[in-house]
Chains A and B, each alone.
Chain A
Amino acid sequence: MTEHKVTSPVLDVRDLHIEFDTRHGALKAIDGVSLQIAPGEILGVVGESGAGKSLTGTAITGLLESPGRIAGGKIHLEGHRIDTLSQDEMRRLRGRRIGAIFQDPLTSLNPLYTVGRQLIETIRTHLPMSKAQARQKAIQLLSEVGLPAPETRIDQYPHQFSGGMRQRVVIALALCADPKLVIADEPTTALDVSVQAQIITVLKRLCREQGTAVMLVTHDMGVIAEAADRVAVMYAGRLVEVGPVAEVVKSAKHPYTQGLMNSIPTVLHDVERLEQIEGSMPRLTAIPEGCAFNPRCPHAFSRCRVERPNLIAVGDSDAACWLVEDMEEPLLPRSETAKTATLSDHHV
């Protein structure tokens, strides 16, 4: 058990299962995912596309659409269970307790209305304010997210803003009613690199100042390293590793996370060429027995092919890998063959 689980978390997801009903039966898209986020903490959720990161976020906001459905598990927000709430109760939570930021700021705003109208509408949905008060609050929000001249820009239409500025507007919209949790789904992916850093800074500042918990969904380890406090790595709908960012980046426990880290270019390590993980993530229809990663894993042994590993605490992290069972230090080539040794050569 690590210490952050002791403080009462804003978001507590336990053993979440999401299934899609299809002609060929139910597909398991999320299989036993558990997450906690403390107040003021940014949890990065990372994985390849299709790993289920966004889906987890969607389920928490209660916006899962048919044929997808929550098939098991519990979601608690500030101690209250929310996955059993009615649609209308859930709607009241959205925007009020849970803010959401989407990937593409170009398409997240309704092109036919001014940003002011969209802000005021959201504020007045959740807070008892007059139009004038809401407008004041909207201007204040816009300036908080770093939009210059908010008094004039509030009356402009989305197409009059650049991508980065639009994403700031989207963030302002997500923060309208001071939510306790913000789910940011690839908030920087559609932006220029220079703008990405600005958006991350804004997010981090708001999180620190207002004690908001943030679930930052991305496939970009660089963004995670820069913004997140902790990181959760997902693979094929399962959690493979959770831990403090520094720990996971420096000494990943799960072979998949290691592969992920090796595939990132860094300035610190002078690598000849980037590593890549052989093969590709299985489709939902063909997730292998045992550990979902075993066909691509360079260290897979017989147990990995039959028995599914649960998260096991190693150091400050948890990893779902049989290799780390009973280990104090990661990847000690104890019972395993030379294969493992070569990998640690690579890594350490």
Chain B
Amino acid sequence: MIAFLIRRLLQGALVMLAVAFIAFSMFRFVGDPVTNMLPQDATLEQRAELQARLGLNEPLPVQFGYFITNAVQGDFGISYRNQRPVSNLIAERLPATMEMVLAAVVLSLVIGIPMGVYTALRRDSWLSHLFQAVSLAGISVPTFVTGILLILVFSVWLNWLPSFGRGEVVELGGWSTGLLTVSGLKALIMPVITLSLFQITLIMRLVRAEMLEVLKTDYIRFARARGLTNRAVHFGHALRNTLMPVITITGLQIGALIAFAIITETVFQWPGMGLLFMQAVSFVDIPVMSAYLVMVSLIFVVINTIVDMLYFVVDPRLRVDTGKNNTSA
């Protein structure tokens, strides 16, 4: 397991290196960083000084080295648009996005898994058909349309929920949370529903497909042949085996959710990383774009590694003692 962990970490490092290279290329070759980072009335000396400070006179590999060294320390340069350090901007925005994304993940698992199980076990009931139909709609309705419709109904027409922002936030040691105030929680409702609708659908369909697959296996047939109750067969055996791939997909989906958050945050003017990135794309604010890319990739890699570790917990076949007794029979 240690060897596996090390291999996974190395792979992760390699992916991060590749992403860093893309980020660096964007930074170096899209537009002129010096012109963009300085105010318009900057003198030639200021230019030369910044150029030297950014290491732009060095050979490219050395520049890449600088870029990585800085990035590891959280230094992604200065935003072209508002002339502030990118790391500060990201740090401010991170809590808003993470709270929304994690709430959406929890919601989609809590709703998606039972729906998937139900539609797999009662394939022909009318409720299953309804769930199936709704799930197709869930995949086909774009996030921003969901958001707009929710705003139209609950903010414009009914005036129940706020249509933008995070509400009141509380600072907890550098982490601003909206989970502790009523207005913060109210502000969270619609963005989270918007963000998780697609995920609910996805998890439901995945659980359904996996469960149907598992129900066809020999060990489920054998479990039935042993006279186990339907409950034991479905929930004791089938569900547990179904959840293995669900773990993987959920891990991957957290990454996808962070990206989908770009749209949700734009619709609800949610002050998170996605909105920041969107503004960066509109203004071609390359340092913010590359920092966002690196941040998101880092989250991906970390989550993927955690998911692989979880597999060891769930699947006994992968544990260290595998094979120890294989030959004894």
Contacts and interface: CB of A to CB of B under 8 A. Distances in A.
Complex contact flag A–B (Cβ < 8 Å) = yes
B223 interface: yes
Contacts of A126: 227
Interface in A92-119: 92-96, 99-100, 102, 104, 107-114
Interface in B271-329: 314-317, 321-329
Contact of B226 (A95, A113, A164): A95
A125 B325 contact: no
A110 B215 CA distance: 12
A295 to B, nearest CB: 34
Contacts of B221: 63, 102
Given A107-B217, A160-B324, A174 B226 contact: yes
A61 B217 CA distance: 17
Contacts of B322: 159-160
Contacts of A159: 316-317, 322, 326
A170 B225 CA distance: 11
Given A110-B237, A121-B236, A165-B329, A100 B315 contact: no
A174 B219 CA distance: 13
Q: At the interface, is chain B mostly helix, strand, loop or mixed?
A: helix
B316 A157 contact: yes
A156 B325 contact: yes
B315 A112 contact: yes
Contacts of B323: 160
Contacts of A63: 221, 224-225
B32 interface: no
Given A121-B236, A156-B325, A161-B325, A109 B228 contact: no
Interface string A155-185: 0110111101100001001101100000000
Given A156-B325, A164-B329, A170 B229 contact: no
Given A93-B227, A125-B229, A108 B222 contact: yes
A111 B219 CA distance: 9
A188 to B, nearest CB: 16
B326 A94 contact: no
B226 A94 contact: yes
A104 B218 CA distance: 8
B222 A112 contact: no
A125 B226 contact: yes
B311 to A, nearest CB: 12
On chain A, which size bracket covers the interface? Answer: 35 or more
Interface residues of B, number: 31
A81 interface: no
B316 A112 contact: yes
B183 interface: no
A156 to B, nearest CB: 6
B241 to A, nearest CB: 6
Contacts of A162: 326-329
B152 interface: no
B219 A91 contact: no
A102 B329 contact: no
A110 B223 contact: yes
A218 interface: no
Nearest to A164: B329
A122 interface: yes
Given A100-B222, A108-B219, A109-B222, A92 B227 contact: yes
Interface string B128-171: 00000000000000000000000000000000000000000000
Interface in A61-97: 61, 63, 91-96
B232 interface: yes
From A63, A96, A112, A162, residue with most partner B Cβ within 10 Å: A112
Contacts of B217: 107
A122 B226 contact: yes
B96 to A, nearest CB: 38
Nearest 8 pairs between A and B by C-beta?
A95-B227, A162-B329, A94-B227, A100-B225, A107-B218, A165-B329, A95-B226, A157-B316
Given A109-B222, A110-B219, A162-B326, 20 more contacts: A63-B225, A91-B229, A94-B226, A94-B227, A95-B228, A99-B226, A100-B225, A104-B218, A107-B218, A107-B219, A108-B222, A109-B219, A112-B315, A122-B226, A122-B227, A160-B321, A160-B322, A160-B326, A161-B325, A174-B226
15 contacts: A63-B221, A93-B227, A100-B222, A109-B222, A110-B223, A111-B315, A112-B314, A121-B232, A122-B226, A122-B227, A122-B228, A159-B322, A161-B326, A164-B329, A176-B226
Interface of A: 61, 63, 91-96, 99-100, 102, 104, 107-114, 121-122, 125-126, 153, 156-157, 159-162, 164-165, 170, 173-174, 176-177
Interface of B: 217-219, 221-230, 232, 236-237, 240-241, 314-317, 321-329
